[in-house]
Amino acid sequence: MDNDIQLSIVIPVFNEARRIEPLLLEVAAYVQRCPLTTEILVVDDGSTDETVALIHDLLERHAPGKYRIEQLERNLGKGGALRAGMLSARGSYSVFLDADGSTAISELDTFIPALGSGYEVYIAVRTKKHAAPLKRKFFGYGYILLANIILGMHLSDFTCGFKCYSRQAAHTVFSRQRLNNWSFDAEDLFIAKKFGFRIREIPVYWRHVGDSKVRVFKNVLVCGIDLLRIRLNAMLGRYR
Q: Give me the mean pLDDT over the 56-82 stretch.
A: 97
Which CATH architecture best describes the domain 2-235?
Answer: Alpha-Beta Complex (3.90)
For the chain, domain boundaries: 2-235
pLDDT at residue 94 above 90? yes
Specify the pTM. Answer: 0.91
Q: Which pLDDT does position 1 carry in this prediction?
A: 41
The rounded distance, in Å, linking the Cα atoms of 103 and 98 is 8
Beta strands across the sheet bearing 121-129? 67-71, 38-44, 7-13, 93-97, 162-166, 121-129, 199-206
Contact 46, 72 (CB under 8 A): yes
Element (H, E) at 229: helix 216-235
7: DSSP letter? E
The model's pLDDT over 147-206, given as tens digits with 9 standing for 90+, comes to: 999 999 999 999 889 999 999 999 999 999 999 988 899 999 999 999 999 999 999 988
